[in-house]
Amino acid sequence: MRLTREQAVEAITREMRGASCLMCALLAGKPMVLAQTEHAVALLPRYGLVRGHAIVATRAHRTRFDEVETAAWQSVSRLALEVARITERELAPARCYVASLGTARDDIPMTCSHLHQHVVPVHDADARPAEVLTWAHGVERLSDDDGRLLLEQLGPAVRAALNG
């Protein structure tokens, strides 16, 4: 189901129940986990840019590159790579973007400063990153049923690739 940015922000704010970090709230809830390592978790967000959008985050709350452990960021990157490989294979998008949107000083508002990467399958061949990596065009709400389908389609292969 497609929501406007405002509808998604309102729903997420409600689901965070006052938590200060969206990603920590997600990880502490019942995330749809594709795969995980000691330091990183790959999940399907309830509110994504498109169907099949995955997020890979550090397990610990880290908001700056100068505080994240090298092993943790390597683990995030490795996991994002495997998710992207399986996403390309299974969902056959026109493009598959992997993006780390970086950090921000504490006084700069950001949706989520907890370090993470996005894996975004793009089915519109003409879409450019700036058009895709924004909520300006709406947000895809992943249903429980579709989430389960995607977890079954992508999860085992990502976990096998990690262990292979």
Residues 103-132 that bind Zn ion (CB under 5 A): 114
CB nearer Zn ion, residue 53 or residue 114? 114
Q: Give me the least distance between CB of 114 and Zn ion, in Å please.
A: 3
Query: Do the Cβ atoms of 135 and 5 come closer than 8 Å?
Result: yes
To 5 degrees, how large is the angle CA 155–CA 93–CA 79?
A: 35
49 CB-contact burial (10 Å; exposed 0-12 / middle 13-18 / buried 19+): buried
Q: Is 24 in the site for Zn ion (CB under 5 A)?
A: yes
CB nearer Zn ion, residue 24 or residue 101? 24
- Which run of H or E residues covers position 144? helix 144-163
Of the candidate spans 21-29, 68-76, 86-94, 98-106, the one that interacts with Zn ion by CB under 5 A turns out to be 21-29
Size of the site for Zn ion (CB under 5 A): 5
> Which residues sit at the interface with Zn ion, rule CB under 5 A?
21, 23-24, 61, 114
